[in-house]
């Protein structure tokens, strides 16, 4: 961590001069810290620091040059084996972000009405004390479930696990993240139900194989690494194509990856599951699947109990034990138990329906899969998806020709609608039946990786005896809002946003009262933003926003705003193939504090007020460092990070945090071992059982008949219980073990009033809602482009460069017309956006209204049954010509007020505030 250069007394003297001010007046431009002689003594001092970027989720290795205590240069680190020294615009612009004149410099407390944008400066002592007082009163009076925490993607790590850690220690409560069920949870949680391994996200580094040039065909299904993961996945795909890899792109937009694809399928938004079902049918019908893998390593030969919707256990038919499944044996023409992993004496029938006794009929899981896809011919899929049947067939053949050195990477698009669990079921089934799993070139692999600082939730693993009160109880789990109906939230320990809104508004089943948010800009990320803001503003007793800048989340909703560090000021860990990359603080400015430490300081304040569980979190040593206690200072936190890396990867050669910082990036195993040592992992012998390790499912086989979903809906988890071993009440609707297509609730097939389908997608210069106040990036992309096909533009009466008004049944917003054949007729595409410059005006609410597609999106039913996903893409809008919104900055000179204002190193908020000492028995 950077050396602190100002004393506590000197800082507080400086702070005493601050008074009440209006943020809209631009009062953040003063460099209020005077480091005096310390700065003068540092003249001509230059050093370089290796760290990792977090301007998106890429974690690319970077080298930062610091001169006289100030960052003057950021460049890619060639030792990063994934980015290989490349950087994108987002990371290169970090100097403008960290030294931005509108940077939130110190804690603020609201003095006017919510939404008035009027604040007064307070100390960290005041802020932490007042928030802790409110939390303790809530805990003692109303109970823990009324606390709500949230975080979000973009910029510094979202600390998803850290929210659960705090809630569990507090005694319960709700957590939400604006993506979650709309961004990544359905894939990251759902695909392993089928492949027993991992998801297939390139941007989230679940897909590693693309960096070895072993893949023959890569299907990019709704993902665009060349725009959303530029320096890493985008770079790798360029390299793959140069080595002969064929690519298929399924995306409504003509993205850079679509421009280089062998086949581009410009699908109608919201219909991906229909296309996936057709792909499965074509492969089964034409006998293109991997017969040996399907027979020996999937559950498709197993017989299905039509009453329970689960595959038969041998005990149910009096044939054996619960640990054995049942096949129809051609040799004996009877149902027989199949021991794991296989019995050569049996000859299972893959496709059929049989009488298992007493006239009870049972299909094989294969037949059940066929029945689910049988209606989905290429012609039907082409009609529904607005595609050409011959092009669909061409794409499938490319995928099949590359198998098993092939794979499908599924992107965020399918998470954002009612079919969010069904689309990843389809793509996971396809990779499994083609044997594209754990083979050289397959995208589905299982190699060591992880984020040490993710702070996994406290649960029963290791805590039943040591610290039982810090475990999640069955009651706490069941009380999470929306969890019982949408048990897929078990994957992130989250709650359902629409159910939260209903509870906040109505008080049923209970009333959330305090909300602490650790992210950028909720009105930009949440569906139907106006509804969300109104409900939260009118009903929450206390709202705390922790972030780098003031955003519309701050100005519209917050009572306190706490300044957090940007990524270049904090500590974390990243993994790049066989290497660990340490993110280490390069500078610490103003009074900013890292997110984890804000949690820790609040925990300490609650412990001081007698909260017994919080007192337990400061006991040393903690029984399991991977879950961890809390920390009294940043150095303790850094050493905790080091302990997790040591525990996970460096057991035989542990290092201190400082040693890791000096060595970064460093190997935790040789590259050839990392690359080659995990192929056919499922066939390797488990020393405990003497049998092949298999896959991470109940059957230890891949499960295209995904009964784990059904089991989860009835019990809380795919193994018959939630992650703490508790059995939960069933959801009101059984989750299907097989994918099915549901037409979007708002559909061009039936809607004439709102005739166009709206979709979204990332652009390479922004990540989620971040960096709209960075002048370089806004000069590149000053306003959100609304992609419109020339035929559609003619219907509307707009030309390229015109401003347009987009309207849905929930609201209206603006965009800048980009007339292009890169999107099909009847479809419009526009990225999320907001306008920080409008926070300075008399109507700061326009900052989230003027150009925010989430004013248009849906947060009402129908929801996906498993994950509760609502609709952010594939809904209906109308478009008309409009004028430029008043006050919006557009020309390069407009962004001059955001040019960097260099400040001296101050040591951050740690220089003036810490949690004190912990003296708990």
How do residues 222-276 score in pLDDT, each as one tens digit?
Answer: 999 999 899 999 999 999 999 999 999 999 999 999 999 999 999 999 999 999 9
Nearest to 352 by CA among 325, 376, 319, 330: 330
- pTM higher than 0.75: yes
Strands (DSSP E) contained in 269-381 are 304-305, 310-311, 325-329, 334-338, 353-355, 361-363
pLDDT at 652: 87
Q: How confident is the model at residue 644 (pLDDT cuts 50, 70, 90)?
A: confident
Task: Express as a percent the part of the chain with pLDDT over 70.
Answer: 92
How far, in Å, CA of 660 to CA of 646, rounded?
Answer: 10
Q: How confident is the model at residue 144 (pLDDT cuts 50, 70, 90)?
A: very high
Residue 41 has pLDDT above 70, yes or no: no
Q: List Cα–Cα distances, 365 to 80, 349, 491, 711, 770, in angstroms.
A: 44, 11, 26, 16, 46
How far, in Å, CA of 866 to CA of 392, rounded?
Answer: 29
How do residues 483-522 score in pLDDT, each as one tens digit?
Answer: 999 999 998 999 999 999 999 999 999 999 999 999 889 9
Task: Express as a percent the part of the chain with pLDDT over 90.
Answer: 83
Question: What are the two backbone dihedrals, phi and then psi, of residue 783, each rounded to the nearest 5 degrees?
Answer: -150, 155
How do residues 595-607 score in pLDDT, each as one tens digit?
Answer: 999 999 999 999 9
Cβ partners under 8 Å of residue 760, min gap 6: 416, 829, 830, 831, 832, 853, 872, 873
How do residues 91-102 score in pLDDT, each as one tens digit?
Answer: 999 999 999 999
Nearest to 72 by CA among 51, 46, 90, 52: 46
How far, in Å, CA of 707 to CA of 48, rounded?
Answer: 53
- Look at the block and give the residue holding tokens 């092949």: 692
How far, in Å, CA of 859 to CA of 867, rounded?
Answer: 13
**Residue pair 460/724 in contact by the 8 Å Cβ criterion:** yes
pLDDT at 648: 85
How far, in Å, CA of 873 to CA of 22, rounded?
Answer: 37
Residue 14 has pLDDT above 80, yes or no: no
How far, in Å, CA of 625 to CA of 601, rounded?
Answer: 19
The whole-number average pLDDT for the span 719-737 is 94
The whole-number average pLDDT for the span 330-337 is 97
Residues written for the chain: 921
Cβ partners under 8 Å of residue 242, min gap 6: none
Residue 348 has pLDDT above 70, yes or no: yes
Continuous H helices in 818-857 = 846-849
Average confidence score pLDDT of the chain: 91
Residue 701 has pLDDT above 50, yes or no: yes
**Residue pair 861/875 in contact by the 8 Å Cβ criterion:** no
Work out the number of other CB atoms within 10 angstroms of the CB of residue 752.
7
């Amino acid at each position: 961590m950077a050396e602190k250069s100002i004393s506590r007394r000197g800082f507080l003297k400086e702070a005493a001069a601050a008074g009440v001010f209006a943020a809209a007046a631009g009062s953040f431009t003063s460099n209020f810290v005077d480091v005096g002689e310390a700065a003068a003594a540092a003249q001509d001092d230059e050093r370089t620091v290796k760290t990792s970027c977090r301007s998106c989720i890429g974690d690319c290795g970077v080298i930062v040059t610091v001169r006289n205590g100030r960052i003057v240069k950021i460049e890619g680190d060639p030792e990063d084996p994934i980015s290989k020294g490349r950087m994108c615009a987002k990371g290169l612009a970090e100097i403008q972000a960290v030294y931005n004149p509108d940077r939130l410099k110190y804690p603020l407390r609201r003095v006017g009405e919510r939404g008035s944008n009027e604040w007064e400066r307070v100390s960290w002592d005041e802020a932490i004390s007042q928030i802790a007082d409110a939390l303790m009163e809530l805990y003692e009076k109303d109970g823990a479930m009324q606390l709500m925490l949230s975080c979000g993607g973009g910029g510094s790590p979202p600390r998803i696990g850290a929210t659960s850690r705090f809630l569990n220690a507090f005694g319960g409560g709700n957590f939400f993240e604006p993506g979650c069920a709309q961004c990544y949870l359905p894939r990251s949680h759902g695909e392993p139900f089928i492949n027993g391994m991992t998801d297939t996200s390139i941007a989230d580094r679940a897909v590693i194989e693309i960096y070895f040039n072993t893949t023959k065909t890569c299907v990019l299904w709704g993902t665009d690494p060349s725009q959303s993961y530029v320096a890493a996945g985008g770079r790798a795909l360029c390299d793959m194509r140069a080595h002969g890899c064929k690519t298929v792109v399924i995306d409504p937009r003509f993205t850079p990856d679509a421009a280089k694809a062998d086949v581009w399928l410009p699908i109608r938004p919201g219909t991906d599951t229909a296309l996936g079902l057709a792909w499965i049918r074509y492969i089964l019908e034409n006998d293109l699947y991997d017969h040996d893998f399907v027979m020996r390593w999937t559950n498709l030969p197993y017989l299905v109990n039509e009453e329970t919707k689960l595959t038969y256990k041998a005990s149910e038919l009096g044939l054996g034990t619960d640990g054995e499944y049942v096949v129809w044996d051609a040799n004996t023409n009877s149902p027989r138990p199949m021991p794991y992993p296989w019995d050569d004496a049996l000859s299972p029938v893959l496709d059929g329906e049989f009488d298992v006794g007493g006239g009870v009929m049972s299909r094989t899981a294969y037949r059940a899969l066929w029945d689910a896809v049988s209606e989905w011919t290429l012609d039907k899929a082409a009609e529904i998806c607005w595609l050409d049947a011959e092009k669909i067939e061409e794409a499938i053949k490319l995928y099949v020709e590359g198998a098993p050195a092939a794979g499908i990477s599924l992107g965020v698009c399918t998470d954002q609608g009612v079919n969010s669990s069904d689309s990843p079921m389809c793509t996971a089934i396809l990779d499994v039946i083609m044997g594209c799993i754990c083979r050289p070139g397959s995208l589905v692999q299982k190699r060591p990786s992880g984020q040490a600082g993710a702070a996994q939730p406290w649960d029963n693993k290791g805590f039943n005896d040591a610290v039982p009160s810090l475990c999640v109880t069955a009651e706490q789990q069941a009380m999470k809002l929306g969890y019982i109906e949408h048990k897929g939230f078990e994957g992130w320990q989250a709650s359902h946003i629409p159910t939260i809104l209903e509870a906040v508004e109505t008080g049923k089943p209970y009333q959330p009262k305090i909300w602490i948010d650790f992210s950028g800009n909720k009105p930009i990320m949440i569906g139907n933003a106006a509804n969300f803001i109104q409900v939260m503003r009118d009903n929450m007793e206390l709202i705390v926003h922790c972030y780098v800048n003031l955003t519309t989340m701050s100005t519209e909703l917050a009572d306190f705003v706490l300044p957090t560090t940007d990524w270049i000021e904090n500590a974390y860990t990243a993994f790049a193939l066989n290497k660990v990359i340490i993110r280490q603080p390069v500078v610490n400015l103003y009074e900013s504090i890292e997110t984890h430490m804000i949690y820790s300081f609040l925990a300490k304040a609650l412990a001081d007020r007698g909260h017994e569980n919080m007192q337990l979190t400061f006991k040393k040593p903690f029984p399991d460092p991977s879950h961890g206690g809390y920390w009294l200072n940043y150095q303790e936190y850094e050493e905790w990070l080091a302990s997790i890396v040591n525990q996970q990867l460096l057991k035989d050669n542990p290092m201190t945090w400082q040693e890791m910082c000096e060595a970064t990036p460093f190997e935790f195993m040789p590259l050839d071992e990392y690359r080659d040592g995990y192929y056919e992992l499922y066939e390797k012998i488990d020393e405990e059982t003497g049998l092949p390790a298999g896959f991470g499912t109940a059957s230890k086989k891949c499960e295209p008949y995904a009964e784990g979903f059904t089991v989860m809906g009835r019990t809380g988890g795919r193994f018959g219980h939630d992650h703490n071993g508790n059995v939960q009440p069933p959801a009101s609707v059984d989750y299907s073990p097989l994918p099915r297509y549901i037409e979007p609730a708002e559909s061009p097939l039936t809607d004439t009033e709102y005739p166009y389908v709206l979709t979204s997608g990332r652009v390479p210069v922004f990540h989620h809602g971040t960096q709209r106040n960075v002048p370089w990036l806004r000069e590149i992309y000053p306003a959100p482009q609304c992609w419109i096909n020339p035929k559609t533009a003619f219907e509307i009466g707009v030309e390229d460069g015109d401003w347009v008004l987009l309207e849905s049944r929930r609201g209206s917003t603006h965009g800048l017309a980009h007339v292009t054949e890169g999107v099909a007729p009847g479809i419009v595409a526009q990225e999320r956006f907001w306008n920080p410059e409008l926070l300075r005006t008399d109507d700061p609410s326009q900052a989230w209204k003027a150009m925010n597609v989430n004013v248009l999106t849906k947060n009402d039913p129908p929801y996906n049954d498993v994950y509760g996903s609502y609709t952010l893409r594939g809904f209906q809008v109308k478009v008309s010509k409009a004028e430029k919104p008043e006050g919006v900055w557009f020309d390069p000179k407009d962004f001059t007020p955001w040019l960097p204002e260099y400040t001296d190193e101050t040591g951050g908020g740690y220089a003036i505030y810490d949690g004190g000492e912990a003296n708990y028995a």
